[in-house]
Chain A
Amino acid sequence: MAKFEPIKGGYVYLTVEDIEYRVYYEEAGQGIPLIVGHTAGSDGRQYRHLLNDEEVTSRYRVISFDLPFHGKSLPPHGDKWWTREYNMTKSRMMAFPNALSEALELDRPVYMGSSMGGHLAIDLASNFNDRYRATISVEGALRSAAEYVEVGMDGIRREFDNPNVSRTSTGAAMMLNISPYSPEENVREIQWEYQCGGPGVFAGDLYYYYYDHNVSPEEAAAIDTSKCMLYFLTGEYDPNTSPADTKEAANLVKGSKFWEMPKLGHFPVTENYDEFRKFLLPILEEIEGKSA
C-alpha cells in the first residue's frame, strides 16, 4: 500500500511592489489559519514535519509558502530581475505574507517564522497587528548579532555569493547555527535545502536579516500584544540570535512570552521537530483558546 502525506500544493499569483509573482505554497489541515515562513535562502520544505503533525493540523490550517526566488517560486516573469542585485527588504518581506493572506481570504491568520521569518514575526506584530491574531517569532530578535552584522554585505557576498565557492559551502556554513544534539539526518536535510538555493539569494536575504530588520527599543515597546500576541522561541545554540538577544526583545514587548529551547539551534523546526513541538503546542493551544 502506497504511503501518502496529507500535504497539498498549489500556485497563487501575488502582486507585490507592482510585480506579479507566481508563488508556490503547501497546506494541510483545517481551522485557524497558520502561515509559516522559511529561513533565509531556504524554502517551505523546512515545515514538512509540522505539516504532517495531526495534533496541529486537526485545529490549524497550516500554510507554508516559498518566497519568490526560493524553492518552487521562480523569479517573476515580466520583470528583468537579472539586471539588478537580489536583496530582500523589510517592506517586501512583510508584503508577501500579507498578500498571501488576502489571496487565500484568510481571517486574521497566525504567522510563525524562523530566523528571518522570526524577525518578520516581530515586524508584522509591530506594523500589521490588525491583520494577524498572533505571531510566533522563532529565533527572532530586535536585530541580528553584532558579530555577523559587522561583516557587512561585501563580506556576506564574499562567502555566500562567490563564484569561487559552490552552494555546497552554504549548506556547510549552516553548521554554525545547528545544535550538536540535533540528529544528523536532520542536519543533512537542512544543509541540502541550503545547497539547493538560487544564486545570490541567500546573501540577498541576509540584507533583510542583518540590516533592514532593526527594531528600536521604542518600536518594540509600542507593540500592542492585546491586538496581536507575540510569542518568542529561541534555541540555546543560535549564535545569530541568542536566547539573550531574544530575551532583550521579549522584555521590551509588554505581554509577550518567551521560551529558551535547550539543546536546539537556529533551525528548530527542522533540526528536531519532536523537541520543538513541545514548545509550539502550548502556544497554539493558547491562541486557539483566545480565538474561541
Chain B
Amino acid sequence: MRDFAQVLQTATQDFEFNREMRYYTGNLHVAIGDKAWLAAYDDGKFLSVEPSGTDPQGAAIWIKGTEEQWKDMTAEYPRPFFQSLQSSSAKHGVLLSNTHQLYAYLPALNRLMQIFRQLNREGA
C-alpha cells in the first residue's frame, strides 16, 4: 500500500485540496492497516506529516481502514459501495471520526481520495 505521506505531499500542490483545507487548524490522522500517519495544519497551512500509531490521538479528522478496504477505496473504479469515504463507512465498515470538522472538510477529503486514485493510476 502506498505511503500516505506521499499522497499528502502531492495534495499540498493541488489547488482544490488547498482551497478546501482553508482555515483548518488541527490534525488529520489516517490509518491503513497497521500503518498510520498524523498530519498537522495551521489555519489551512500544511505543517507536517509523520508516521504515527494507529490511535487517532485526538485528531478531529481521522480515517481508519484495513489495507484491503483502502485498496478497494482507491481502485480506479471502486466496486459498490467503495466509491466514497462515507459509503465505504456505511456499507463496508471503514471508520471515520464523527466530528464537525470531518463534515466541514469532506470536500478536501474527497479530493484527497481522488489524488490517491490518480497516483495509483499513474503508478507513481
Chain A positions within 8 Å of B, measured between CB atoms, are 145, 147-148, 158-159, 162, 164-166, 168-169, 171-173, 175-181, 236-237, 239, 242, 265
Number of A-B contacts (CB under 8 A): 63
Q: A168-B20, A180-B76, A237-B80 provided; 19 other pairs, C-beta below 8 A?
A: A147-B90, A147-B91, A148-B90, A164-B104, A165-B100, A165-B103, A165-B104, A168-B107, A169-B105, A172-B110, A173-B86, A173-B106, A175-B110, A176-B86, A176-B90, A180-B77, A180-B78, A180-B83, A242-B80
With the chains together, A10 CA to B109 CA distance in Å? 40
Q: Does B87 contact A (CB under 8 A)?
A: yes
With the chains together, A159 CA to B77 CA distance in Å? 27
* B20 nearest in chain A by CB position: A168
| Contact A178/B86 with A172-B106, A173-B106 known, Cβ cut-off 8 Å | no
Q: Does B84 contact A (CB under 8 A)?
A: yes
Q: Please list the 5 inter-chain residue pairs (A to B) with the smallest Cβ-Cβ separation, ordered nearest first.
A: A164-B100, A176-B87, A175-B84, A172-B107, A239-B81
Q: State which residues 91-115 of B face A: CB under 8 Å.
A: 91, 100, 103-107, 109-110
With the chains together, A173 CA to B81 CA distance in Å? 14
With the chains together, A224 CA to B87 CA distance in Å? 35
| Contact A236/B107 with A175-B86, A176-B87, A177-B87 known, Cβ cut-off 8 Å | no
Q: Mark B58-96, 1 if CB is under 8 A from A, else 0.
A: 000000000000000000111011011111001100000
With the chains together, A179 CA to B77 CA distance in Å? 9
Check if B103 sits within 8 Å of A236, measured CB to CB.
no
Other-chain contact of A239, B80, B85, B100, B106 (Cβ < 8 Å):
B80
Check if B100 sits within 8 Å of A237, measured CB to CB.
no
With the chains together, A173 CA to B103 CA distance in Å? 8
With the chains together, A159 CA to B106 CA distance in Å? 11
Check if B80 sits within 8 Å of A236, measured CB to CB.
yes
* B76 nearest in chain A by CB position: A180
Other-chain contact of B84, A159, A162, A176, A236 (Cβ < 8 Å):
A176
Question: In the assembled complex, which residues on chain A have CB atoms less than 8 Å from the CB atom of B104?
Answer: 164-166, 169
Question: In the assembled complex, which residues on chain B have CB atoms less than 8 Å from the CB atom of A169?
Answer: 103-107
Other-chain contact of A237, B20, B83, B106, B110 (Cβ < 8 Å):
B83
Other-chain contact of A176, B77, B83, B103, B105 (Cβ < 8 Å):
B83
* B106 nearest in chain A by CB position: A172
With the chains together, A37 CA to B109 CA distance in Å? 31
Question: In the assembled complex, which residues on chain A have CB atoms less than 8 Å from the CB atom of B107?
Answer: 168-169, 171-172
Check if A239 sits within 8 Å of B87, measured CB to CB.
yes
Question: In the assembled complex, which residues on chain A have CB atoms less than 8 Å from the CB atom of B83?
Answer: 175-176, 178-180, 237, 265
Question: In the assembled complex, which residues on chain B have CB atoms less than 8 Å from the CB atom of A165?
Answer: 100, 103-104
